[in-house]
Amino acid sequence: MRDKIAIITGANSGMGLATTVAMAKKGFQVIMVCRNPERGENALQKAKTESGTDHIMVDFL
């Protein structure tokens, strides 16, 4: 369990995705909140690759 958790809305593109990657790199457990499952899952894979971490998950509105 990580002690710092970030919940990011609008996380599948733009500033939300960039913030997801930045927070994951800083050691946060990141929960991406998205509304479209396909865009969300694609963004999750991109965020993991770009951050080089596996402590990111996605949930949906």
Ligand X SMILES: NC(=O)c1ccc[n+]([C@@H]2O[C@H](COP(=O)([O-])OP(=O)(O)OC[C@H]3O[C@@H](n4cnc5c(N)ncnc54)[C@H](OP(=O)(O)O)[C@@H]3O)[C@@H](O)[C@H]2O)c1
Beta carbon nearer to ligand X, 43 or 53:
43
Contact between 47 and 21 under an 8 Å Cβ cutoff? The reply is: yes
Question: Does 36 interact with ligand X (rule: CB under 6 A)?
Answer: yes
3 state SS of 39: helix
CA triplet 5, 11, 17: central angle to 5 degrees?
Answer: 95
Q: What Rg, from alpha-carbon coordinates, does the chain have?
A: 10
Question: Does 14 interact with ligand X (rule: CB under 6 A)?
Answer: yes
Among 2, 25, 26, 35, binds ligand X (CB under 6 A): 35
Q: How far is the CB of 11 from ligand X (least distance, A)?
A: 6
Given the rule CB under 6 A, which residues bind ligand X? 10, 12-16, 35-36, 39
